Amino acid sequence: MKTLTLVIGAVYGVLSVILGAFGAHAFKKILSTERLESFETGVRYQMYAAFFLLFVGYILKFETKSENWISWLMILGALLFSFSIYLLAFQDYWGTNLKFLGPITPIGGLLMIVSWVMLIFYFVKAKL
C-alpha cells in the first residue's frame, strides 16, 4: 500500500502540472472564464491530494486498516472530485450534458475531508 500511495501521489502531481499548463494556455482559448476557474480548482485540489499522498506515503506504515483507508479515501476522493470537475468544465465545449456528474464532485470532496480527519485521529492516537 505504501508504494501504491507514493506512486499515485506522484501521478496525481505530474497530472496536475500537465493539466495546469494546458489550463493556463490551450484551454484558456476554448473554455469560458467560469469553466476555466472550475477546471483550475480541480487541478489545485488534485495537487493538494498529491502532496497529501506523498506525505502519508512516507509517514504511515500501513499496518492497520485505518492507515490504509486514509490513503484510499484520498485517492478515490481526489479522483471523483477533480475528474468530475474536469469533465463538467468541458461539457459546453463538447456540446454534452454532463450535469449528472454534479453530485459526484461533493462526494469526492467528502471522501477527501474524511481522509484528512482520519489523519488527524492518527496523529492524536500516535501522540507524535
Work out the mean pLDDT of the chain and round it to a whole number.
Answer: 94
pLDDT of 128 reads 63
Average pLDDT over residues 53-75: 96
Average pLDDT over residues 42-54: 98
pLDDT of 73 reads 98
Which pTM does this prediction carry? 0.92
Does 127 have pLDDT greater than 90? no
CA distances from residue 98 to 17, 38, 49, 64, 73 in whole angstroms, order as listed: 25, 14, 24, 38, 24
Q: Cα(26)–Cα(79) distance, rounded to whole angstroms?
A: 22
Stronger pLDDT, 76 or 31, i.e. the higher one: 76
pLDDT of 29 reads 87
30 sits in which H/E element: none
